A and B are shown apart, each in its own frame.
Chain A
Amino acid sequence: MSSTFIQVIASGLLLGAVYALFSSGLTLIWGMMNVINFAHGDFVMLGMYVAFVVWTVMGGGPAAAVPIAALVLASLGIVCYFVLIRHITRGPMLAQILGTFGLALLLRYSAFWYFGTSFRTLPETLVGGTLPIGPIRIESSRLLAGVVALVVTVCLHLLLTRTTLGSRMLAVAEDADAAELMGIRPDRMQAIAWGLAAAATGIAGALIANFFYVAPSVGETLAIVAFVTVSLGGFGSVPGALAAGLLIGIVEQVSAYAIGAIYKDIVVYALFVLALWLRPVGLMGRA
């Protein structure tokens, strides 16, 4: 195998881990309450702006930006749940779609209003150059993003499957009334899910900001990646989101390398359509 090819696969995996992280937030919310959050990409966008603000205000890098983004977005997620989501889930499907879509527009135009339309970038020196790893060189900002994203995604999965809190959340996801009979408050578990999902998304944003432009509309692009990842991985499955995220990262990078960057999205969609055609419930979805 040529070192260029290894390089392409490695960057695909690192990017894919970040896709997995922000998609796991979307899949968690779907699994908990069957709501598709159309504002999901804009949560990533806000995470990116948190990193930008942390840098402009205090000159901080990801060590400060990641935890701050997690806290800010978790709070925002919980507030969104109590102010908006809790009410629209009692309504018809259309109310949910319009509700979260409205939230997306609100967040996006607030960012326009506050930060302006121009694209911002963080200085490359913030995470510092490239690292030689065996025969290849990797940008340290991408390496950091990939590794942290992988760790956080795995932690989220362990939280859901190994802890009492996770068990209660899964109980609410499966049967909210039965969970309530156990003395569990479904609204609290759902609020926590929104907090966790938004925090995961915020962390992803703060990591991406180190190698991607920041703009109010960037959430749109990322939301599409998240929807593809979640449908490919199976709605509601964090391991599915991880597998699908990594796969999409690799496919995207390989096709960008092999047939050109402008075609990579087409290949990702082709894969998506093909996969859904062969296995409609996704890689790890339940029928």
Chain B
Amino acid sequence: MTLLAVEHIEVRYGGLIGVADVSLEVPSGAVVALLGSNGAGKTTTLNAIAGLVPTTRGSITLGTERIDRKPAYAIVRKGLALSPEGWRLFLQQTVERNLRLGATPVADRSRQAALLERVYAVFPKLAERRHQYAGTLSGGERQMLAIGRALMSSPKLLMLDEPSLGLAPAVIDFLYETLVRLRREGLTILLAEQAIEMALEVADYAHVLQVGRSVLSGPARQIARDPEVQRIYLGVGEIRAAEPT
């Protein structure tokens, strides 16, 4: 069953095109990777799905319901949480308050304690740091807090924007093991990454973006073996290098 369907969306930043034509599908229970190099449009796509930036064309459907045009605060209440690029933590509040803020869409307050315990079980580091201000955390801990905060809304679909960015290999391994565990517990995950090998290892399906367009999609195994993927990544690099600066 398809949980999320994005069809031919376009996003503009003023006169500039953020993404021109992106489509993707996320089946229920799967891990889907959204791949592409610098500036390909991964963040723009995730932000459009989350409702942070408006689409100017195409449609976004969650389950059977159109969610494009809905504001971000309404979308997260429908079970779609984003751990955004740059984490966007509330640095002037404690770890625990950040997590509790993540539980805002959960109407039943008594569930908060259980959700909090679950996140602390997934990320014991956060439990140790629960009363510290988020601004005092290391990069890896910040990424854990961003993911934990998104989990606090107990989403059906968790979207992660480059969780490996700027982190030490050991931390990245831990985060990816965690994603595999969460997926086994039934969570659906949409994962934007530049680090393709890592993402393709855990993903069931992958979609590849190139300068704002969907160019390739299929089962992750197939994409991993596709020589086209390497060419796309390198190709973009060549175009970049050839541009006058």
Chain A residues in the interface with B (C-beta under 8 A)? 164, 167-168, 170-171, 174-175, 177-185
Q: Which of B58-105 contact A (CB under 8 A)?
A: 71-73, 76-77, 81-82, 84, 88-93, 97, 100-102, 104-105
Beyond the given pairs A167-B101, A182-B73, 4 more chain A to chain B contacts, judged by CB atoms under 8 angstroms and listed by A's residue number, are: A181-B72, A183-B76, A183-B105, A184-B101
**Judging by beta carbons under 8 Å apart, are B72 and A170 in contact?**
no
Q: Which of the residues A164, A174, A175, A182 comes within 8 Å of B102, measured between beta carbons?
A: A182
Q: Find the residue from B72, B76, B100, B153 having the highest chain A CB count within 10 A.
A: B72
Interface residue B142 (Cβ < 8 Å from any Cβ of A) = no
**Judging by beta carbons under 8 Å apart, are A171 and B72 in contact?**
no
Cα A277 to Cα B72 in complex, Å, equals: 42
Chain B residues in the interface with A (C-beta under 8 A)? 50-52, 71-73, 76-77, 81-82, 84, 88-93, 97, 100-102, 104-105, 149, 153
List of B residues within 8 angstroms of A180 by Cβ? 51-52, 71-73
Known contacts A167-B93, A171-B90, A174-B90; decide if A181 and B100 are in contact (CB<8 Å): no
CB distance from A171 to the nearest CB of B (A): 5
Q: Say what secondary structure dominates the interface of chain A.
A: helix
Q: Which of the residues A170, A181, A183, A185 comes within 8 Å of B88, measured between beta carbons?
A: A181
List of B residues within 8 angstroms of A175 by Cβ? 88, 90
**Judging by beta carbons under 8 Å apart, are B73 and A183 in contact?**
yes
List of B residues within 8 angstroms of A185 by Cβ? 71, 73
Q: Which of the residues A170, A177, A183 comes within 8 Å of B77, measured between beta carbons?
A: A183
Known contacts A164-B100, A167-B101; decide if A181 and B90 are in contact (CB<8 Å): no
| 25 interchain pairs, CB-CB under 8 A | A167-B101, A170-B93, A171-B101, A174-B91, A174-B92, A175-B88, A175-B90, A178-B88, A178-B89, A178-B90, A180-B51, A180-B52, A181-B52, A181-B72, A181-B76, A181-B81, A182-B101, A182-B104, A182-B153, A183-B76, A183-B77, A183-B105, A183-B153, A184-B101, A185-B73
CB distance from A83 to the nearest CB of B (A): 21
**Judging by beta carbons under 8 Å apart, are B93 and A181 in contact?**
no
List of A residues within 8 angstroms of B88 by Cβ? 175, 177-178, 181
